[in-house]
Structure 1
Amino acid sequence: MTVAQEQVAVERENGVMVITIDRPAVRNAIDYDTAQALSAAFDELDATPSLSVAVITGSNGTFSAGMDLKAFAAGGKLPRSERGFAGIVRQPPRTPVIAAVEGAAMGGGFEIVLACDLVVAAQDAVFGLPEVRLGQCASGGGLLRLPRRIPYHRAMELILTGERLGAEAAERLGLITRLTPPGGALAEARHLAERIAANGPLAVAASKRVVVESQDWPSSEAFDRQAAIVDPVRNSADAREGAVAFSKKRAPVWQRE
C-alpha cells in the first residue's frame, strides 16, 4: 500500500464510490500525495460505467482543514493535479459527487465542498474561507463558486472577513442539501447516493452535464445545446427500459446504453 492509498480510502458498492480523506493527525489537510490519490479516485469514478455517484468525506469527525501548509512550507509540492487543488476544484468529475461534512470544512476543505453537487452536513459542521486572514485569496474555487451558491452580499462578507459559517445558517442560505445530527452525515449521504444510483445512469450523467454547462450558454442557444446532450438519452435502451418498467410496475434493469 502506498502513502497516498493510506491517506485516501476508497470503497465501491452498489454503484456508489465512497472516498474518505484519512489524515486525522492534520485534520485531513491536503498534501501532494493526498491530492494525487483524490484525483486518481475521481478519474476512476468517471471511467467506471458501473459507478453512478460518489460521496467524499473526512475521517475522525473532520471534513478537511484545507491545504497542508506545514507540508508545503517544508518543501512539499503544491497539493494539486490536472484537476486542480485536491484533485477536484478545477475539474470536478462528470459523475455527481456528494460532500458528507462532519466538523470543519475550512479553506481548501470548503472549496472541495463547493466543487461537489450536493452537500450533507452535520448540525455542528462549520465552513469558512479564512485565506484573507493569512494574506491569501481563496483561489481554489471559493471566490468563483460561493457567490453562485448563496446571495452575493453574504458571500462577499464571508470571503472578505474570513469568518466561519455554521451548518444551520448554511442550510438557511441553501448551501446544504440535508442537515443531520452530529455523526450522521455519511450515513445520510450514502442514503442519498443510493437513491441517485437507482436512477437511469445515462439520465443522471446527462442531467448533471446540462446543469453545469448551461450556466454559460446564451439563452437563444440553450434548448438546442440541451438537445444535443439529452436526445441520445431519450433514444437510449435505458429510456425504453424505464418506460417498460414503469408500465409493468417493476424496478428497471439499466444497461447503460
Structure 2
Amino acid sequence: MTGTVELYFPPPHSEQLLVSFPAEHVMMLTLNRPQSRNAMTLQMQKDLETLLDWFSEESALCLDRVVILTGAGKLFCAGADLIEWNKDQQSGKSEEQERVASSRNGFGSISRRQLIKPIIAAVNGGAHGGGTEIVLNCDIVVAGEDAKFALPEVKRGVVAAAGGIPRISQISGHHVWLLC
C-alpha cells in the first residue's frame, strides 16, 4: 500500500476508497464502488475529506506533491448515490445529506477545498453529475478516450450548484458564457 513511503501515521481506513502510493511523491485515491458506478455515498464523501486532510497534514508526506483521484471499474464516478439519497429523504435523514453537501469542502470534499498540493483526476469512462463536478474542481484532468462528462441534474430540475456551475464559470471565462 505505501511502497517505500515511511508514514508517521497510517492513512485513515476507508472501505470505499483505496489508498496507494504508485510513485515517489504521489498518492492515489481510487473510488472503490464499481458495482455502484463509484457513486458517492455520504460515508465515501466523509472518508475522502478525512483522507485529503490527512494527506495535507502527514509530516512524512510533506514532499509529496500530488494526489491522483480515479475510479475503479469502467466509470470514474456516477455522482451522488441516488439510492442512498432517496432512502434518506424518505426516512427523514435529509439533514445529513444537506450537511455533507454544504460542508466546508463541498461535494466530494473537493469543490471548495483549499489544498496546496494539486489534485489530478484520472478519468476512465463516465463522470456524471457530481462526478463531473469533482473533475471540474481538480487542478489537472487526464481523460481516457472513453471518458464522457455530463451534468444530468437539469433533467431532474436540479442545478449543479455543489461545485459544477460555479467552477465552470471560473474556468471557462466570460467569452464562453456569451455564447449561451
Give the shorter-chain TM-score range: 0.7 to 0.9
- Match of 1:37? 47
Q: Which amino acid aligns with 2:75?
A: T
In 2, distance between residues paired with 1:146 and 1:40? 26
Determine the structure 2 residue equivalent to 1:108.
130
| Counterpart among 64, 82, 105 of residue 69 in structure 1 | 82
Q: Secondary structure at the match of 1:74?
A: helix
Which of 8, 19, 27 matches 1:10?
A: 19
Cα shift at 1:92 = 4.4
State the identity %.
37
TM-superposed CA distance for 1:67, in Å, is 0.8
State the one-letter code of the partner of 1:42. L
User: Does the CA-based 8 Å contact 1:146-1:155 persist in structure 2?
Assistant: no
More helix by share: 1
Q: TM-score, normalised by structure 1?
A: 0.56
Closer/same/farther in 2, CA of residues 124 and 151 from structure 1, 3 Å limit: farther
Number of the residue aligned with 2:161: 139
Decide whether the 8 Å contact of 1:147 with 1:156 is kept in 2. no
Whole-Å separation in 2 of the counterparts to 1:147 and 1:129 = 14
- Deviation of 1:149 after TM superposition, in Å, equals 2.4
Tell me, yes or no, if the aligned pair for 2:38 and 2:77 is still in contact at 8 Å: yes
> Secondary structure of 2:52's partner?
helix
Structure 1 unaligned residues grouped into runs of 5+: 161-257
Residue in structure 2 matched with residue 52 of structure 1 by the alignment:
65
Matched, 1:82 2:141: no
| Structure 2 residue 130 is matched with structure 1 residue 121 | no
Please say which structure displays the higher CA radius of gyration: 1
TM-score (norm 2): 0.78
**Structure with larger RCO (C-alpha < 8 A, sep 6+):** 2
Contact 1:92-1:116 within 8 A present in 2 as well? no
Deviation at 1:123, TM superposition (A): 1.1
Equivalent pairs, count: 155
Q: Which structure 1 residue ranges, 4+ long, deviate > 2 Å from structure 2? A: 79-82, 147-157
Mapped to 2, the partners of 1:42 and 1:142 lie a distance apart of 20
